[in-house]
């Protein structure tokens, strides 16, 4: 056979095998990935699990998976894994080689550097013949089972500049920390959120409507943590100092954790949206229990650092609802005259309003061993003046 015929046959064979791979390489190939946990706290380490299968006779000498992920997740070094990082996103590439009817499982160590909601929405699978002459690709879409929620950083309560006159020694703090849940002061109408074990069945039978035990003033009081996403009074739209708002979210999480651990009904509100509702402000009514704390954590993890409405107007909701017997803890970078007027109206309705200032001072650095102390923190001794400017 002449050299020309040999070259011709070789070209035909290469073309045929290339087309074979182009048409059938990704058939019978399945790919799944998920995190080993649904949620964690900022700074903790999780695992991303990849499972890929080749369910056909044709071997795959190379297969590349690429996806775009947020830069708040840091992957550990690993062979067959390439990460190119940018300021907001990073390109994640995994390389596989699959024999017939083979399944490969890989586990990637991932450290969660930033609070947030991480959705592994899509990935691109690329494969081809051994020489790379012909390639084919497929885009994969993932559901919310691949979502990872990273809760705010866990910080000790003592590192928060809490107002000393409301958390130490006066009537308010005594009302919060005296554990007297069985002190009965009569009955009242059932309200949404009341538990079944508080129902007074005798009074219910007499009145014909659900009645519950009315606790002494200690057990009826509530706390509402309110976070202002505005950095200055003239800010419009984008948050100019996102690190300050991240600190406010961490403050809110620590306060909510401690209050709920003391049996105090606690709520959270902010003039910023979450991932699933990008145009709505957040407002979670005060309640108690571990499920409520989990709801608060998940909401804080999904917060977008964007202003959804003016904070003074945001406070109007509480006034329209005629909210009473509530301690408002306001985390804010400033207090405008309009906000102060709203605070005074809330006070006239029988509420307490205290301001916790947000500044650019960095949070202390905590390691994994500090988590326990963060959980068991007590109110700090440092007083805090109400800020009047940015």
Looking at 82-91, 124-133, 194-203, 247-256, which range is the least confident one?
A: 82-91
Question: Mean pLDDT throughout 214-221?
Answer: 54
Model confidence pLDDT, tens digit, residues 77-102: 666 666 665 566 777 888 899 999 99
Q: Name the average pLDDT for the chain.
A: 81
CA distance 290 to 102: 43
Query: Domain 3-151 is of which CATH architecture?
Result: Sandwich (2.60)
Q: How far, in whole angstroms, is CA 197 from its chain's centroid?
A: 32
Tokens representing 188? 């009242």
* CA–CA separation, 108 and 114 (whole Å): 18
> What are the backbone angles phi and psi of residue 248, rounded to the nearest 5°?
-60, -40
Mean pLDDT to the nearest integer, 368-387: 42
Joined together, the tokens standing for residue 99 give 């024999």
Query: Are residues 225 and 269 in contact, defined by beta-carbon separation less than 8 angstroms?
Result: yes
pLDDT band per the 50, 70, 90 thresholds, residue 236:
confident
Q: How is residue 376 annotated by DSSP?
A: T
Q: Report which of residues 235 and 194 the model is more confident about.
A: 235
Element (H, E) at 111: strand 102-112
Taking 80 as the threshold, does the pLDDT of residue 216 lie above it?
no
**CA-to-CA distance for 307 and 272, rounded, in angstroms?**
5
Average pLDDT over residues 55-61: 92
Q: Which of 43, 255, 29 is nearest to 158 (CA)?
A: 255
Domain residue ranges in the chain = 3-151, 157-180+217-375, 189-215
Fold category of 157-180+217-375 in CATH: Rossmann fold (3.40.50)
| CB within 8 Å of 191: residues ≥ 6 apart | 212
HSE-CB for 94 with a 13 A CA cutoff? 23
């Amino acid at each position: 056979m002449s050299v020309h015929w040999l070259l011709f046959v070789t070209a035909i064979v290469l073309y045929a095998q290339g087309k074979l791979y182009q048409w059938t390489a990704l058939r019978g190939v399945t790919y799944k990935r998920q995190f080993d946990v649904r949620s964690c706290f900022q700074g903790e380490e999780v695992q991303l699990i990849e499972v890929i299968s080749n369910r056909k006779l044709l071997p795959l000498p190379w297969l590349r998976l690429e996806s775009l992920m947020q830069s708040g997740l840091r992957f550990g070094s690993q062979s067959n894994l390439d990460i190119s990082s940018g300021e907001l996103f990073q390109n994640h590439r995994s390389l596989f080689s699959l024999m017939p009817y083979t399944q490969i499982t890989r586990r990637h160590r991932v450290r969660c550097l930033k609070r947030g909601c991480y959705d592994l929405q899509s990935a691109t699978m690329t494969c081809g013949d051994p020489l790379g002459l012909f390639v084919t690709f497929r885009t994969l879409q993932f559901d919310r089972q691949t979502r990872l929620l990273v809760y705010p950083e866990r910080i000790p309560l003592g590192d928060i500049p809490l107002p000393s006159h409301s958390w130490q020694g006066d009537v308010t703090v005594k009302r919060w920390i005296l554990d007297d849940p069985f002190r009965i002061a009569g009955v009242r109408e059932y309200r949404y959120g009341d538990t079944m074990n508080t129902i007074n069945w005798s009074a219910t039978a007499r009145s014909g409507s659900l009645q519950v035990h009315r606790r002494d003033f200690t057990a009826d009081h509530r706390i509402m943590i309110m976070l202002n996403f505005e950095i200055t009074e003239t800010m419009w739209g984008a948050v100019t100092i996102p690190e300050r708002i991240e600190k406010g979210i961490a403050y809110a999480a620590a306060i909510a954790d401690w209050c709920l651990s003391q049996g105090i009904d606690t709520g959270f509100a902010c003039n910023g949206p979450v991932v699933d509702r990008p145009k709505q402000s957040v407002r979670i009514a005060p309640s108690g229990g571990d499920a409520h704390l989990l709801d608060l954590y998940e909401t804080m993890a999904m917060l977008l650092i964007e202003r959804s409405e003016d904070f003074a107007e945001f406070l109007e909701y509480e006034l329209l609802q005629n909210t009473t017997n509530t301690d408002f803890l306001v985390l804010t970078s400033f207090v405008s005259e309009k906000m102060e007027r709203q605070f005074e109206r809330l006070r006239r309705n029988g509420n307490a309003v205290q301001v916790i200032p947000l500044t650019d001072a960095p949070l202390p650095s905590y390691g994994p061993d500090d988590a326990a102390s963060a959980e068991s923190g007590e109110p700090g001794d440092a007083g805090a003046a109400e800020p009047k400017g940015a």
